Amino acid sequence: MAFRISDMLVYRSMAIFFLSVASFIIFLGTPSLARTVTDQLGRNVTVPDEPRRIVSLAPNITEIIFSLGQERRLIGVTRYSDFPSEAEKLPKVGSYVHLDLEKIVALKPDLCIAIKDGNPIAVAKRLESLKIPVYAVDPRNLKTIMQTVLEIGGLINAEKRADLLVQNMDFRIQKVKSLVSNVTYRPRVFFQIGVSPIVSVGTHTFIHGLIVLAGGTNIAEGPVSYPRFSREQVLGLSPEVIIITSMARAAIFEQVKAEWSKWPDLPAVRNQRIFLEDSNFFDRPTPRLVDGLELLVRLIHPELFKEAE
C-alpha cells in the first residue's frame, strides 16, 4: 500500500508539473492583449482587449458604436453612414455591399465589425487572411438588435452603456406592448419600402415584427422577404394604412400618394391614412428601430393617444 501511495504522489506531482508547464506555454502562446470570442455566426474570432482602430462595415454598426459613445474608436465607416451626422466625417471604405479592401487595410484597423446580410463574404475572408479580425453580427429583430448592442458593447468595453441602452429599449418596447394589448382591432397595414417597383416586407423581416408589435396586420406577410407587388394586388388586399418609407424625396412621395389617391375606395385613401416616414427608422437594425416602433403605434392606433391626451 505504502508503495502505491508514494507512486500516486509521484504521478500527481508529475501531473501538476506538466500541467503548469502546459499552462505556461499556453499563456506565452496567446498574445496577452487579445481574447477569443464567438461572433453571431458561431465563428471564433480573436479580438484585441482594447480595440482602438475599428472599421465598421455597415451603417447600422456605425450607429450602434456611436450610440454607445465609443466613436473615438472608429477610424472608418461605409458610405451612407449618415447617422449621427458626425459619422459622415469619418473615412469611407466603400459601400457595405461593395467594400474597398485596400482602403480598409490602409486604415490599419485592429478590428472590423461586419454584418451577415450584405457584406461580401469574400472580403471578410480576405481581411482575416491579412490578420485583421472580423466580428460578424446578424441582427434580425428587436431581440437580436439588443443582443448585438450588448455584444458590441462587450467588444469595445462599453458594457455599462450597452446595458443602459438595452434596458431603455426594453422598457419602451414593454410600454408599447402594454399599450397595444388593449386593442381589439388590428388594422391592415401595407408597408411600402419601394416605389417603383412596389416592394413590401414579408414575414421574415424586422419591419413585419414591428407592425405586429404595433398592433397592425401586415398584409404582405409571406415567405418572400421583400415581395414585389402590382398595384392591382395591393388594391385587392384593401389596406387601411399605407406607410411609405422609400428613400424617395418629398416630390416623389406626393406623386406616389397621388397614385394611390386615384382609388378612393381604398380604405387608406378614404380615411387619409397614407404616410411617408423616414426610412432610417425602419430599414436599419439599430436601437432607433424602437423609435420606429413608437412611430408605427401612433400611425396604426392614433386612438390610443387621443384617449390619453
Partner 1 sequence: MNTDKPLLIKRLWVVSFSLMLVLLIAMFLGLSLGSSQSGMKAVFQNLFGIEPHDPMLDTIIWKIRFPRILLAALVGGTLSLGGLVFQALLKNPLAEPYILGISGGSAIGAIIGILMGFTRFPGVSLTAFSGSIATLLLILVMSSGQTILKKDALLLSGVMVNAFCGAVIMFLVSLTQDARLHNIIFWLMGDLSMVDMPQVGILAAMLLPCFFLLFWFSNSMNLLLMGKEMAQTMGVNVQAVTVILLVATSFMVSATVSYCGLVGFVGLVIPHLLRLLFGPDHRVLVPACVFGGGAYLVFCDVLARALPDQGEMPAGVITAMIGAPLFIYLLKRTRR
What are the residues binding partner 1 (CB under 8 A)? 79, 92, 94-95, 97-98, 100-103, 105-106, 108, 117-118, 120, 122-123, 126, 129-130, 224-226
Q: Tell the smallest beta-carbon distance from residue 61 to partner 1 (Å).
A: 15
Measure the CA–CA gap between 118 and 195, rounded to whole angstroms.
Answer: 21
What is the C-alpha radius of gyration for the chain, rounded to an integer number of angstroms? 25
Measure the CA–CA gap between 243 and 265, rounded to whole angstroms.
Answer: 17
What nine digits make up the cell of 152? 458590441
Q: Which C-beta is closer to partner 1: that of 103 or that of 175?
A: 103
Q: Tell the smallest beta-carbon distance from residue 270 to partner 1 (Å).
A: 33
DSSP H or E stretch at residue 87: none
Q: Helices 206-213 and 159-180 sit at what angle, rounded to 10 degrees?
A: 50
Q: Tell the smallest beta-carbon distance from residue 119 to partner 1 (Å).
A: 8
Residues with Cβ within 8 Å of residue 90, at least 6 apart in sequence: 62, 74, 75, 76, 77, 81
Q: Which C-beta is closer to partner 1: that of 58 or that of 169?
A: 58
Q: Which C-beta is closer to partner 1: that of 88 or that of 294?
A: 88
Q: Which C-beta is closer to partner 1: that of 224 or that of 237?
A: 224
Q: Tell the smallest beta-carbon distance from residue 210 to partner 1 (Å).
A: 20
Q: Tell the smallest beta-carbon distance from residue 209 to partner 1 (Å).
A: 18
Phi-psi sector, 272: left (phi>0), alpha (psi -120 to 50), beta = left
Q: Which C-beta is closer to partner 1: that of 100 or that of 278?
A: 100
Residues with Cβ within 8 Å of residue 233, at least 6 apart in sequence: none
Q: Tell the smallest beta-carbon distance from residue 110 to partner 1 (Å).
A: 12
Cα 7 to its chain centre, rounded Å, is 60
Cis preceding linkage at 197, omega within 30 = yes
CB under 8 A, 24+ apart: contacts of 195-201 = 195/244, 195/246, 195/248, 195/252, 195/256, 197/228, 197/229, 198/228, 198/229, 198/230, 198/231, 198/234, 199/226, 199/227, 199/228, 199/229, 200/226, 200/227, 200/229, 201/225, 201/226, 201/227
Q: Tell the smallest beta-carbon distance from residue 95 to partner 1 (Å).
A: 7
